[in-house]
Chains A and B, each alone.
Chain A
Amino acid sequence: MRTVETAQLGLRGRVVRSKWAHSILTFLVVFGPGLIVMEADNDAGAVSTYLQAGAQYGTHFLWILLLLLPVTYFIQEMVVRLGIATGKGHATMIFERFGPWWGRFSLIDLQIVNFLTLVTEFAAISLALSKMNISPEIGVPLAAVTLITLVFTGSYRRWERVVVFLCLLDIAWFAIAFKLRGPLGEIVHHSFVPTVPSGGITANLVFVIVAIVGTTIAPWQLFFQQSCVADKRLRFSDLKWGRLDTFIGACFTIIVAGCMMLAGNAALVHGISFSDPAQMAVDLVPFVGPAIRTGILLLMINAAVLGTTAVSLSSAWAYGEVKGWPHSLELPFREAKGFYSVYVLCVAAAAGIVLIPRAPLQLIILSVQVLAGLMLPSAIIFLQLLLNDKEILGEEFSNKPWNNWVNWTIIIVLFALSLVLAAQVLAPKFFPSA
């Protein structure tokens, strides 16, 4: 393999001899946005949700994760198609095709949910650091500066490589799950056979199920991946590799989520109840040793860092697109001041709020759940309608009838679950506990 300059156009490329090598290398250059969008969704909130699900119901909900695999893939595949076909972000498309009212609604809702999510990410970093005897007053600003530096290199490729590496660090969850695993037969059974835990269907059980679904599919993902695909300038011919990237990302994320549930199951087995994952990691030490504690705490920080860079970028890209500002990681700061400023503002403000003593973090977490519930169905409706917009996409890129059947089913289920979640948070008295 060697690097060449194509004679006529002066483009830099690599020459390979076989079709196989060509396919693999093409996949590798396209690979990234799919893995990042999926794995960044296993953020601090997701770590907390999956560990709690495991700690309360053991391995009973592994089948839900398996069910969510095609759901996440089908939703994000539409985003890849739209991004490649138009070369534009999701926010721009909503503005252009649904008008300024829906455009502003989506943008403002996205910015609010994203910001509150960022606060929860930094709250998790603060919690994990304090359990490692590192002062959050030092660690949180340091994390914020690192996250800002990460995007300031003026190179999309550099950012992508670092973030893909961080995603792959989550492989460590496999080792933790292996160490803490329960009986294999039970894991396999609960992965493929839907079962209800012995306590029956209670309000808490419904809440946990809805929280798992809500955690696995988040509104920012639609905006992030479409903007990422546009920023990376993926080509029409990259579509099949973009789909494969997204599928691999979905599989990896679901497996990692399953590993988190298995880790949570260890808390159930040892009779540990906890309010946050960092506390669980500490309480597990007498049973599993300090290495697992350190591993879980570091992975919590990694999850929060991944979530922060992806969520902040989805905000910055969306705002930049709508405002018409230059908005690319390929641009240096002086050429995309507005885009980078939004990113810096999001990261710095969220980190700052976490450092305020007695900040209402519980209220913020509840608000994220409600607003995400509000945001997700609307963002998916727009996505589905845009993918049926034959006026723009033609027959080639628009949804096929089978796509629509699958997607409308997913949308109806998500609408119902989002409503249940919001109702449980806002009107808990209508859901008597068992």
Chain B
Amino acid sequence: MKTNPVHMTNTDGEEQARPFVVIHPLDDAAETKVRTSGMGPMRMTLSVKISLMALRGYLLLMMMLLLYHILDLAGLFGHWK
């Protein structure tokens, strides 16, 4: 990133601050990001396992609710009304 003040040295060897330069990200040179590709799936730590299990449970519950709704629309639970 080139937005810091640029320093130059004068004839006496003292540093002089030059003006700040602001560059739009799209005009700036691409910077190296953290590497993610080729690292494979995330390590299954206990918290990751629990989180994904909770997510599966949640999705299962939602599917059951949806199934209930469809069966209800089909009149299967009509006698409850």
A interface residues with partner B (beta carbon < 8 Å): 4, 6, 9, 11-19, 21-22, 25-26, 29-30, 85-88, 92-93, 96-99, 156-157, 232-238, 330, 370, 373-374, 377-378, 381, 384-386, 388-389, 391-394, 397, 415, 419, 422-423, 425-427, 429
Bound complex: CA A249 to CA B25 (Å): 20
Bound complex: CA A356 to CA B68 (Å): 30
A86 touches B2 (CB 8 A): no
B31 touches A235 (CB 8 A): yes
Flag B7-30 by CB within 8 Å of A: 1 or 0 each: 000000000000111111111111
B20 touches A98 (CB 8 A): no
Bound complex: CA A425 to CA B52 (Å): 25
Task: Find the residue from B1, B28, B54 having the highest chain A CB count within 10 A.
Answer: B28
B25 touches A234 (CB 8 A): yes
B42 within 8 A of A: yes
Closest to A27 in B: B22
Given known pairs A236-B1, A370-B66, A429-B80, the reply for A22 and B20 (CB within 8 Å) is yes
By a CB distance below 8 angstroms, the chain A residues around B25 are 29-30, 232-235, 238
By a CB distance below 8 angstroms, the chain A residues around B68 are 426-427
Bound complex: CA A325 to CA B20 (Å): 37
B62 touches A422 (CB 8 A): yes
Closest to B70 in A: A426
By a CB distance below 8 angstroms, the chain B residues around A385 are 42, 47-48, 51
B interface residues with partner A (beta carbon < 8 Å): 1-3, 19-31, 33-37, 39, 41-43, 47-48, 51-52, 54-55, 58-59, 61-62, 65-66, 68-69, 72, 80-81
Given known pairs A12-B27, A30-B25, A426-B68, the reply for A85 and B2 (CB within 8 Å) is no
Q: List 19 A-B contacts (CB under 8 A).
A: A11-B28, A12-B23, A14-B21, A15-B22, A17-B20, A18-B20, A25-B22, A86-B34, A87-B33, A157-B24, A235-B31, A384-B51, A386-B42, A389-B42, A391-B42, A391-B43, A393-B34, A419-B62, A422-B62
Given known pairs A17-B19, A392-B36, the reply for A374 and B26 (CB within 8 Å) is no
Task: Find the residue from B3, B34, B55, B80 having the highest chain A CB count within 10 A.
Answer: B34
Closest to A17 in B: B19
Closest to B61 in A: A419
Which of these, B20, B27, B33, B58, contacts A415 with CB under 8 Å?
B58
Bound complex: CA A88 to CA B33 (Å): 9
B51 touches A330 (CB 8 A): no
By a CB distance below 8 angstroms, the chain A residues around B27 are 11-13
By a CB distance below 8 angstroms, the chain B residues around A25 are 22
A426 touches B66 (CB 8 A): yes
By a CB distance below 8 angstroms, the chain B residues around A374 are 59, 62
By a CB distance below 8 angstroms, the chain A residues around B36 are 86, 88, 92-93, 96-97, 392
18 extra interchain contacts, Cβ-Cβ under 8 A, other than A12-B27, A14-B21, A235-B31?
Answer: A11-B23, A11-B27, A13-B27, A15-B19, A15-B20, A16-B19, A25-B22, A30-B25, A97-B41, A157-B24, A235-B1, A235-B28, A330-B26, A374-B62, A378-B55, A381-B52, A391-B39, A423-B65
Closest to A415 in B: B58
Which 7 A/B pairs are nearest by Cβ-Cβ distance? A22-B20, A87-B33, A13-B23, A426-B69, A97-B42, A237-B1, A13-B21
Task: Find the residue from B21, B25, B41, B43 having the highest chain A CB count within 10 A.
Answer: B25
Given known pairs A11-B29, A234-B25, A422-B62, the reply for A427 and B69 (CB within 8 Å) is yes
Bound complex: CA A156 to CA B27 (Å): 12
By a CB distance below 8 angstroms, the chain B residues around A9 are 2, 29
Closest to B69 in A: A426
B62 touches A22 (CB 8 A): no
Q: Nearest Cβ distance between residue B1 and chain A, in whole angstroms?
A: 4
A26 touches B66 (CB 8 A): no
A381 touches B51 (CB 8 A): yes
A236 touches B31 (CB 8 A): yes
Bound complex: CA A152 to CA B44 (Å): 42
Bound complex: CA A373 to CA B19 (Å): 51
Which of these, A232, A370, A419, contacts B26 with CB under 8 Å?
A232
Closest to A21 in B: B20
